[in-house]
A and B are shown apart, each in its own frame.
Chain A
Amino acid sequence: MAQRISKSQHAKMKNPIIQFFKFIYLNIRILKIVAGGHGGTRN
């Protein structure tokens, strides 16, 4: 059986203060990855 999400993890996932900071962190991280550029793969 696969691992379930623990109660403490659930609490963190719902905590609005933790999630507010995570929201900012996620936006920055996503922006860095997506707007970080793209290009070709062939020389």
Chain B
Amino acid sequence: MSKIVILGAGIAGHTAAAHLRRKLGKEHEVLVVSPNKNYQWIPSNIWVGIGRMKSKQILFPLEPLYKKKNIGYKQAKVISFHPEGNDTSGKPFVNVEYVHGEKKGNQEKVTYDYLINATGPKLAFELTEGLLPATNKVYSVCTYDHAEHASEAFLKLVQQLKATDKKAKILIGTGHAKATCQGAAFEYILNIEKELVKYGIRNRVEITWISNEYELGDFGMDGMLLDYNGFNMKSKDMVEMIFEDRGIKWILGAGVQRIEDGIAYYENLEGEYKTETFDFAMLIPAFSGHGFKAYNKKEEDITDKLFKGFMIVDADYTAKPYEEWTVQDWPETYQNPSYKNIFAPGIAFAPPHSISKPRKSKNGTEIFPSPPRTGMPSGITAKLVADNIIDSIKKGQPSLSHKGSLGNMGAACIASAGYGITQGSGVSITTFPIVPDYEKYKNTGGRDIKKTFGDIGLAGHWVKLALHYAFIYKAKMKPFWWLIPE
């Protein structure tokens, strides 16, 4: 009998738990430890953030589902890792602390045979002074409750504008010099613009995109050359075309450093310190590791063996210049090299480096996007980790036959550009591979142009909506859920 403990119940953790439970017999224990009581389909948060969806439409409680599916569940957060056990425990364990119910505040040792760290990122709002959501007129859509606050504030602003002839400024983008997840901000700015058109007040609102990207359409992936309507087009040109068409202004190479009430202070790549005022802003924070500690059998600190901000996996972390980066640097199995029974799929693994070219301002401040690992790659990497553990248990020996490097994996980004069955819009972008392979695809910017394409239109909105329902169906583990790919 084996015990598999999964830390986190987001896209990666939940996917891993579902596949493990389906493919392993009842004699094996699958246990999820997460401080969150609900599963949330994060990609739909942007619709909650404009008031077109209620948060209850994008979430469901985990405990009843896990109970029904024979998956153990503790609503707790991990405190420390003990991969060698200690004097009192021969087995490796994690220390967890309950965050809800009668046991709230109690700590407990949770032993394991295999550990999947799917704790995702810490939303590091504190790295940008004044960025805390729902303060200083700045909001977030990173979680459903953040998105609800954003929606309330946005709709309040709409009401104010409808009742008066005032003008307003909206600022959307990244709230830190090294933030990632530009895609979510991109979706949100297009949805906000569309909503203002619907409310008939678009002409009185100045909308500005602010981002740490060097060029529009970088998305933390160094941009891409894509097939659009039969032509090869750079993602930069595609996004510029969309922004120009919708009258959205943009500020690039901006590292937001401080927020005051309605004012964003930022430094740009020219080394200039500037400000941008706003009446409503949605800025994505930096993502960081959780600051977990790890100890060996003698209770000595071995955090460096497990973490490098995020968790260390089978990547090549050797420091080298951008010109020497290769796709081979990226991990394939997400296994910790020191402790072979620990894995970190999704956002929890430490990337070897960024995907976008690193840039510094004239003052030496690093301003460039961190690599995205959200959504589809999270699900795919979680499934392959689960499959390797399943194989190892069934074969009785370590098996790592399932591999999935971001340098040999496709992704689809279906960005909503406006909500509505007949009036909606979406920007559909697929890319293969996620990390550009400049050796294999020398002439097409590191990507397979046959698998990297863009499209704009109502169909994109329908695809995004279909994915919303399909993935919530899948997450609820309803009949034949496994037929829906990650």
Contact = CB atoms under 8 A, between A and B. Distances in A.
B457 A38 contact: no
Contact of B404 (A1, A4, A35, A38): A38
Q: Chain A: interface residue count, which band?
A: 20 to 34
B contact patch SS: mixed
Contacts of B485: 31, 34-35
B451 A33 contact: yes
A contact patch SS: helix
B458 A5 contact: no
Interface in A16-42: 16, 18-20, 22-23, 25-27, 29-31, 33-36, 38-42
Contacts of B412: 30, 33-34
B432 A33 contact: yes
B455 A22 contact: yes
Contacts, number: 101
A21 to B, nearest CB: 8
B451 A23 contact: no
B237 A39 contact: no
B437 A41 contact: yes
Interface stretch (B281-289, B327-335, B355-363): B327-335
Contact of A19 (B330, B414, B453, B458): B458
Contacts of B437: 41
A23 B244 contact: no
Contacts of B432: 33
Given A16-B422, A19-B459, A27 B332 contact: no
A12 B457 contact: yes
Contacts of A30: 412, 414, 428, 430, 463
Given A14-B423, A41-B408, A42-B328, 8 more contacts: A4-B241, A14-B425, A25-B459, A26-B459, A26-B460, A33-B410, A38-B403, A40-B404
Cβ-closest 7 pairs across A and B: A13-B457, A40-B403, A2-B240, A22-B459, A38-B409, A23-B459, A40-B332
